[in-house]
Amino acid sequence: MSLSVTSRLLPSLLRTTARSALASPAILLSRPASSAHSQETFEAFTARYVSFFQSAQDLFELQRSLNNCFAHDLVPAPSVIEAALRAARRVDDYATAVRIFEGIKEKVENKGQYDQYLQELKGVREELGEWDTP
């Protein structure tokens, strides 16, 4: 097929496709919503991420799991944060540990909640020789 024939047929094909898509909007509305995804409980979320962080063996895996964990619309439980801090120590990455605390600070609603997390994690910070966070 020559270029001139293709260039003449393409606009016609696009108009036909666009027209048929506009003429039958019921096709888009008739698809059922997917109900395959169930809501995960907070306990299941916590167990899943504690397991992820306990098995993380390299920095990429740790940071990927942290990004996924903090992307959810909730503040991770202290047990998740503890596992993440232990993983940061295991891969020997101070910067990631600092970012874990920064992530908590951004996720909580107020300074009082952040202080509660710091108090809850005081033992693990001391045990790991972790960083004194402001």
Q: What is the CATH number of the domain that holds 83?
A: 1.25.40.40
- Asked, for residue 106, whether it belongs to a domain, the answer is yes
- Asked, for residue 82, whether it belongs to a domain, the answer is yes
| Spatial contact of 131 and 97, defined as CB atoms under 8 Å apart | yes
Least confident of 11-15, 18-22, 33-37, 51-55: 18-22
- Asked, for residue 14, whether it belongs to a domain, the answer is no
- Asked, for residue 1, whether it belongs to a domain, the answer is no
- Asked, for residue 12, whether it belongs to a domain, the answer is no
The pLDDT of residue 9: 55
Q: Which two tokens stand for residue 34?
A: 């997917």
Tens-place pLDDT, residues 90-121: 999 989 999 999 999 999 999 999 999 999 99
- Asked, for residue 132, whether it belongs to a domain, the answer is no
Res 23 pLDDT > 80:
no
Q: Which two tokens stand for residue 29?
A: 């509305």
- Asked, for residue 5, whether it belongs to a domain, the answer is no
Hey, is 107 helix, strand or coil? Answer: helix
CA distance 105 to 114: 6
Radius of gyration of the chain (CA): 25
CA distance 80 to 120: 12
How many domains does the chain contain in total?
1
Give residues with Cβ within 8 angstroms of 99, minimum separation 6.
66
- Higher confidence at residue 4 or residue 85? 85
Within 10 Å of residue 68's Cβ, how many Cβ atoms? 12
φ, ψ of residue 15 to 5 degrees: the values are -65, -40
Range of the domain at 89: 42-127
- Asked, for residue 52, whether it belongs to a domain, the answer is yes
* pLDDT, average across residues 14-31: 45
The pLDDT of residue 40: 87
Q: Is the pTM of this model over 0.85?
A: no
